[in-house]
Amino acid sequence: MNILALETATDNCSVAVAAGNDWRMENSCEPRAQSQVLLPTIDRLLADTGLSKSQLDGVAFGCGPGSFTGLRVAAAATQGIALALDVPVVGVSTLAAVAHQQFRTRNIHLCIAALDARMSEVYWGVYQTLQAGSTQLIAEEAVAAPDTVLWPDVIDDNNSSDVALAGSGSDMLLHLTGSDQRSVVVDAGVLPEALDTLALALPVFERGEAQPAEEARPVYLRNKVALTEQERAAKRDAGTVKP
Amino acid sequence: MLVIGVESSCDETAVALYDSEQGLVGHLVHSQIDLHAAYGGVVPELASRDHIQRLIPLLRQLLNDSGHTLSQIGGVAYTSGPGLAGALLTGAVYARALAWALEVPALAVHHMEGHLLAPMLESNTPQPPFVCLLVSGGHSQLIRVDAIGAYTFLGDTLDDAAGEAFDKTAKVLGLPYPGGPHLSRLAENGDATAFDLPRPMTDRAGLDFSFSGLKTAVMTTWNRLSQQPMSDAELDKLRADLAASFQAAIVDTLRIKCERALRQEGLDCLVISGGVSANRHLRTSFDEHFSNTTISAGSTGGASTVDVVYPSLEFCTDNAAMIALVGSLRLTAGEQSGSDITVRPRWPLSELCCPGANA
């Protein structure tokens, strides 16, 4: 299959193209420039692989969590491209992509993926990758205050040696290291990459479970982004917010 | 050329199809008013989240309704500014990627040029040169139009836009969101002469506006009088009278500045566009006044009455028909925007050029 994959949940604007077995990726990490570099990057990768747009069979995108704006860049581009080419889409968790990357680059099967969610919170989830292209969520994806995140018991049930703590939110979860007999490998500098988005989306495309273009939507995890007038009034009455 | 227009600069998601030969094919607008009502104003993040869910369903419906397919599309135009950054980016990335994948040219459109040229969507097309008053929730600008793309700024608001003043004043009076239209309806039952509110900046030279003082004047009056003991009916009357007096003050101010601009420029055609141009009192007041006003215009120096042109109501508020129109004008002149997508939340209209100048 020929698949285009986009992952822009962080500052990394990552694009990958699979032309059959020829997989290529390009990353560019320039803050707030994703929308400028995205389409030119796709053009280069298609040229490199010799694919034309019409030969694409689907578009995979990193659906989050991550930067709200970044998520919409990938989702909006995916929508436009998939609609025009009349191909289906697959959304891949950005946290799962981080976990798959730990498997792909370091052969670590268990990963606590964590991304800085700002506002003193972290997006996190626990994943197991037993083989390429198959990363399973084994504890719920969530947005949480770091000090409420406890060592996931589910990891102790698994028979594996190393655990990776990976992603920009790793520094917020360092209390998870050292508390356990397991060796925790911290990789705070890692950025999600579209090669993993591609790897995780491909089986979904192959199973025929991809979705129509309009289903390319971000998964924000943080769903409360503003207070209604009623809630503001209630907070004022409680003395927690100054008028 | 059949052009898709996409608009997502604030709290309306809109798509349109415009044929460069035949004119507007169709357009659809999804308003987010209900979404933001509980918050008392537009929440930018929620606006962006809604846009991305509406863009494809709206376009599919429009294509379906008009019996067209994407294979017939010759270009895509999208609003790239001014407006809310996240909202703009959502529509811009979608639309630009759509054009890229269809392998047709794309054009980044200035939202206010859309408003400015909206009368061209109908038969009453004004011929430049003319003066345009752009009045909406975000803008109160007087512009001289010498040709499409040749815009000279004559005046701007120093603080609140006219529509913003409507909304904020409505809030002062305890009206629900979005306050502007509520205030206008209330004003119909009020006495516009009940309160002598200022006509800001009309007593001095120049074409700039300032509306925040007017809002404060209403607030002061309301706070003082509404505290006094009175029946519900009296309170309702006070509210309606203040609304009517406020609306009259805004409309008078806009009209005085428009006339001043026409005389200064020696022009006898006035185009009024943007959300506030839907205001019924504004239209009545302008029509009555300018049908009895003569201006010495043109090289002949002969005096003539002023032509006042408004877009029809559906094209006053944000829509994609005006974006597709501008796109069509500029795309057919050979202009196009690259695949490096940028949005411009602030973008002076005066930076635009005539269609094709940058082709």
Asked if pLDDT for residue A125 goes beyond 70, the answer is yes
Residues of B in contact with A67 (CB under 8 A): none
Pairs across A and B, CB distance < 8 A: 110
pLDDT band at B300 (very low <50, low <70, confident <90, very high): low
- Two tokens, residue A116: 């800085």
Q: Do residue A80 and residue B100 have CB atoms under 8 angstroms apart?
A: yes
pLDDT tens digits along B18-76:
999 999 999 999 999 999 999 989 999 999 999 999 999 999 999 999 999 999 999 99
Q: Is A238 exposed, middle or buried (0-12, 13-18, 19+ CB in 10 A)?
A: exposed
Rounded to whole angstroms, the Cα distance separating A122 from A83 reads 33
CA-to-CA dists, residue B142 to B50, B165, B189, B273, B284, angstroms: 32, 17, 30, 11, 20
pLDDT above 70 for B261: yes
Across B313-335, average pLDDT: 97
Go through the domains of chain B in sequence order and give each one's CATH number: 2-117+314-351 (3.30.420.40), 123-310 (3.30.420.40)
Is residue A160 predicted with pLDDT exceeding 90? Answer: no
Q: Return d(Cα A62, Cα A7) in angstroms, integer.
A: 5
Asked if pLDDT for residue B257 goes beyond 90, the answer is yes
CA distance B96 to chain A (A): 8
What is the set of domains in chain A, with CATH numbers?
2-93+192-215 (3.30.420.40), 95-187 (3.30.420.40)
**Is A76 part of the contact surface with chain B (CB cutoff 8 Å)?**
yes
Question: What pLDDT is recorded for position B302?
Answer: 77
Closest CA to A183 of A155, A153, A166, A163: A163
Contact A84 B342 (CB under 8 A): no
Using the predicted structure, report yes or no on whether residue B244 has a pLDDT greater than 90.
yes
Residue A158: band (very low, low, confident or very high) from pLDDT cuts 50, 70, 90 = low
Say which DSSP state B74 is in.
Answer: -
Q: Is A150 on the interface with B (CB under 8 A)?
A: no
Say how far residue A136 (Cα) sits from the centre of its chain.
13
Per-residue model confidence (pLDDT) at position A159: 62
Nearest by CB: B94 against A39, A79, A218: A79
Are residues A76 and B91, on separate chains, in Cβ contact within 8 Å? Answer: yes
Question: Rounded distance, CA B282 to CA B288, Å?
Answer: 10
Q: What is the mean pLDDT of residues B182-203?
A: 95
ipTM, interface predicted TM-score of the complex? 0.96
Beta bridge partners of A7: A14
Beta bridge partners of B196: none
pTM of the predicted protein model: 0.95
Scanning chain A, the segments in alpha helix (DSSP H) are 34-49, 68-85, 94-106, 153-156, 194-206, 229-237
Q: What are phi and psi of A35, to 5 degrees?
A: -65, -25
User: Minimal Cα–Cα distance from A47 to chain B, Å?
Assistant: 14
When the pLDDT of each residue in chain B is averaged and rounded to a whole number, the result is 95
Structure tokens at A172: 């917020």
Cα angle B139, B145, B147; round to 5: 135
Tell which of A36, A67, A72 to mutate to test the B interface (max B CBs under 10 Å).
A72
Summary mean pLDDT of chain A: 94
Top-confidence residue, A182 or B265: B265
Share of chain A above pLDDT 90, in %: 85
B283 vs B286: CA distance, rounded Å:
5
Q: What is the DSSP string of B218-253?
A: HHHHHHHHTTS---HHHHHHHHHHHHHHHHHHHHHH
Q: Where are the alpha helices (DSSP H) in chain B?
A: 33-37, 44-66, 85-102, 111-117, 162-172, 179-187, 212-225, 232-265, 280-290, 313-316, 321-332
* DSSP string computed for B37-72: HTTTS--HHHHHHHHHHHHHHHHHHHHHHHT--GGG
Question: Do the chains contact at B95 and A85, CB–CB below 8 Å?
Answer: no
Does the pLDDT of residue B233 top 90, yes or no? Answer: yes
pLDDT in tens, A42-55: 999 999 999 999 99
A119 shares contact with chain B (CB less than 8 Å): no
Residue B125 has a pLDDT of 84
Confidence band of A162 (pLDDT split at 50, 70, 90): confident
* B291: confidence class by pLDDT, cuts 50, 70, 90: very high
- Asked if residue A146 has pLDDT above 80, the reply is yes
Question: Is B341's CB within 8 Å of A36's CB?
Answer: yes
> pLDDT tens, B108-144?
999 999 999 999 999 878 999 999 999 998 889 999 9
Which residues in chain A are closer than 8 Å to B99, comparing Cβ atoms? 80
- For chain A, what is the total number of helices (H) and then of strands (E)? 6, 10
**A41/chain B closest Cα distance in angstroms:** 10
DSSP state of B125: P
Q: Which residues pair with A13 in a beta bridge?
A: A28
Evaluate whether B332 touches B25 at the Cβ level (below 8 Å): no
Instruction: Establish if A79 touches chain B: CB-CB under 8 angstroms.
Output: yes
pLDDT at A35 (0 to 100): 97
Closest-CA distance of chain B to residue A72, Å: 6
Helix axes B232-265, B162-172, angle to 10 degrees: 170
Give me the percent of chain B exceeding a pLDDT of 70: 99
Confidence of residue A183 (pLDDT cuts 50, 70, 90): confident
Residue of B nearest to A232 (CA): B39
In the predicted model, what is the mean pLDDT of residues A94-112? 97
- A37 CA to chain B: closest CA distance, Å? 6
Q: Give the sheet arrangement for strand A183-187, strand by strand.
A: A134-144, A122-131, A110-116, A162-166, A183-187
pLDDT at A30: 86
